[in-house]
Amino acid sequence: MSTAALEVADLRKTYDNGVEALKGISLSVAQGDFFALLGPNGAGKSTLIGSICTLVTPSSGSIRIFGHDLAREREAALGCVGVVPQELNFNQFERPFDIIVNQAGFYGIARAEAKVRAEKYLRQLSLWDKAFTISRTLSGGMKRRLMIARAIVHEPRLLILDEPTAGVDIEIRRSMWQFVSEINRAGTTVVLTTHYLEEAEQLCRNIAIVDKGLIVENTSMRTLLSQLDRETFVLDLAAPCQQIPDSVGVHLRRLDENTLEVDVPKGTALNQLFADLSAGGIQVRSLRNKSNRLEELFLNLVERSQGAAA
Cβ of residue 55: shortest distance to ligand ADP, in angstroms?
10
Cβ of residue 43: shortest distance to ligand ADP, in angstroms?
4
Of the residues 5, 8, 25, 43, which one makes contact with ligand ADP according to CB under 6 A: 43
58 binds ligand ADP (CB under 6 A): no
CB nearer ligand ADP, residue 137 or residue 306: 306
**Binding residues for ligand ADP restricted to 192-231, rule: CB under 6 A:** none
**Binding residues for ligand ADP restricted to 143-162, rule: CB under 6 A:** none
Cβ of residue 69: shortest distance to ligand ADP, in angstroms?
22
61 binds ligand ADP (CB under 6 A): no
Of the residues 44, 79, 156, 164, which one makes contact with ligand ADP according to CB under 6 A: 44
Interacting span for ligand ADP (CB under 6 A) from 44-52, 147-155, 260-268, 270-278: 44-52
Of the residues 11, 34, 39, 153, which one makes contact with ligand ADP according to CB under 6 A: 39
**Binding residues for ligand ADP restricted to 221-280, rule: CB under 6 A:** none
Q: 3-class secondary structure for the chain?
A: CCCCCEEEEEEEEECCCCCEEEEEEEEEECCCCEEEEECCCCCCHHHHHHHHCCCCCCCEEEEEECCEECCCCHHHHHHCEEEECCCCCCCCCCCHHHHHHHHHHHCCCCHHHHHHHHHHHHHHCCCHHHCCCCHHHCCHHHHHHHHHHHHHCCCCCEEEEECCCCCCCHHHHHHHHHHHHHHHHCCCEEEEEECCHHHHHHHCCEEEEEECCEEEEEEEHHHHHHHHCEEEEEEEECCCCCCCCCCCCCEEEEEECCEEEEEEECCCCCHHHHHHHHHCCCCEEEEEEECCHHHHHHHHHHHHHHHHHC
